[in-house]
Structures are given as C-alpha cells and as structure tokens.
C-alpha cells in the first residue's frame, strides 16, 4: 500500500506560485520601464516648445539711443568674421557681447563704397534700402559650420529666438531679424540682424542708433529712479534691410534677400 506523497504536491504548488510571482514582477518592471521611456520621449518632444515659450516671455532689453558720431570701421578680431568686413562702430559693443555668448561668424556687414573708392561687402546683393548700406546690419552663420543645417546651428537658432521671440516682433534694439520663416534666411542659410536707427540714405551714417548698453559683466540694467526719457524717434520708413516694405519685424516667405 502506497501512501500519497502530500509533501511533493505542496512543493510543486509552492514552486508554481513563485514562478507566477516572478513572471508578474518581470511584467510589472517591463511596463514600468516602457512607461518611463514613453514619458522621456514626450518630455523631449515638449522641449522645443518650452524653449520658444520661455523666449516669448523674455523681458524687454534696456536700450538707449546713441548720438555718438558714427564711422564705418573694420570688425575686430575678437568677433569672428570674413576678411575685410566692416560695420558702424556704434554697434560693435553689442556685436562683441553677442560673439562672447554665441559662436557666430559674420559673413557680411557694411556693404558699399569707402572714401577711397574701394567697395566692400556684398556688391548690390541686398535689397534697396537695406541696413547693410548703412553699416547697421550683419549676416551671421555658425562658427566652424559647414553650411548644412545641423547641430552647429543650434546656438544661432537660440540667438535668433532671443532677438525675435515671436515672428515679426523683434526685441529692441533690433529693427529686423531674418531667420526661419523669412525667405532666403534661416538654418543652413544665415541669420540677419539689423539695429534700429534714424532715417538715412544709402551709404550714409544714421544720426542715431539704438543699442543695448553693455558692460564687462553683461547688459547694463536700467538705472533705478531714472527720470523718464523723451519718446524715442520713430523708426525710418521703408524696408528694414530685409525683404518687404516693413518698418520692423520679420517677413513672409514671399520675398528674397536682406
């Protein structure tokens, strides 16, 4: 007579329960990891939108009008640029501040004749009335870029968003910002920055230029308790150095040049 082996059956039941528990744990860990990956992908997809939102809420820059005498001068070596590029000396502090914070390379600044008869810059490749003809605009590409819209353009895109948080609404002192959304500009092409200034014919110096005052530590804040200044003169009419007949802001993709 054989007695039933109760102990063996109990052991088998115990092993089965452990396997089911182990399988359940593996399943829970799998779904937890999958959920974590999904959340990470979702967060990364939101990052560009958050950056744009942050720039769109950026506070206005403190600016001033400078009536100091202008002069077309060579861009210094501290600002990477093509050989021979020149600008109005009154925007050099702003341009130097930008170059310290963004890896830029200036491909064009002032475009026009010099007193000695020599022509510098892109010869008549800008639209009529371009701020390049007054030395108050620059075209920028990434330093050490290869012309392709790749990771080297990320700092240029940040600079463009800083200068123009919302399309067609540049921050002062910028008069026009040409980048993505503007024909002939953008990632893989170039970023155009123009400074606000008094009306001036081509190849002449503007009476005043609007700049953001900078110091060794950064942009100078507005002085506390300073008396309210007189209203700023309106920007000059006509094209802003960009593509269309606009006094400020970006343009649609229907034009070309800057």
pLDDT at res. 158:
97
pLDDT at res. 49:
44
| CB count in 10 Å sphere of residue 40 | 10
pLDDT at res. 66:
97
pLDDT at res. 240:
43
Residue 94: which of 173, 204, 7, 40 has the closest Cα? 173
- The alpha carbon torsion through 103, 83, 119, 117 (nearest 10 deg) reads 130
End-to-end Cα distance, the chain = 104
Integer CA distances (angstroms), 138 to 2, 92, 182, in order: 100, 11, 16
Architecture of domain 64-219: 2-Layer Sandwich (3.30)
pLDDT per 10-residue tile (average), the chain, 258 residues: 49 55 55 61 48 49 94 98 98 97 98 95 88 98 94 97 96 97 96 98 97 79 47 48 34 43
pLDDT at res. 250:
35
Q: Which H or E run contains 9?
A: helix 6-56
Q: Which H or E run contains 41?
A: helix 6-56
pTM of the model: 0.68
6-56 vs 154-163: helix crossing angle, rounded to 10: 50
Residue spans of the domains in the chain: they are 21-57, 64-219
Q: Residue 105, Cα to own-chain centre: how many angstroms?
A: 13
């Amino acid at each position: 007579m054989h007695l039933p082996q109760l102990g063996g059956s109990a052991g088998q039941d115990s092993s089965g329960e452990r396997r089911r528990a182990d399988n359940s744990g593996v399943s829970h860990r799998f779904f937890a990891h999958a959920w974590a990956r999904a959340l990470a992908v979702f967060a990364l997809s939101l990052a560009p939108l958050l950056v744009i939102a942050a720039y769109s809420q950026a506070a206005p820059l403190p600016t001033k009008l400078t009536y100091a005498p202008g002069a077309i001068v060579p861009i210094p070596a501290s600002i990477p640029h093509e050989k021979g590029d020149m600008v109005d000396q009154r925007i050099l502090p702003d341009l130097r501040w930008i170059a310290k914070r963004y890896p830029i390379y200036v491909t064009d600044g002032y475009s026009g004749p010099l007193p000695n008869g020599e022509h510098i810059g892109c010869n008549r490749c800008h639209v009529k009335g371009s701020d390049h003809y007054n030395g108050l605009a620059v075209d920028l590409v990434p330093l050490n870029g290869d012309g392709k819209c790749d990771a080297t353009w990320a700092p240029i895109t940040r600079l463009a968003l800083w200068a123009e948080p919302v399309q067609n609404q540049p921050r002062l002192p910028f008069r026009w910002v040409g980048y993505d959304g503007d024909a002939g500009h953008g990632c893989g092409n170039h970023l155009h920055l123009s400074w606000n200034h008094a009306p001036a014919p081509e190849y002449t110096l503007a009476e005043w230029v609007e700049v953001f005052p900078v110091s060794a530590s950064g942009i100078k804040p507005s002085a506390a308790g300073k008396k309210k200044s007189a209203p700023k003169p309106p920007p000059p009419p006509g094209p802003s150095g960009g593509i269309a007949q606009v006094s400020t802001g970006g343009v649609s993709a229907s034009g070309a040049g800057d």
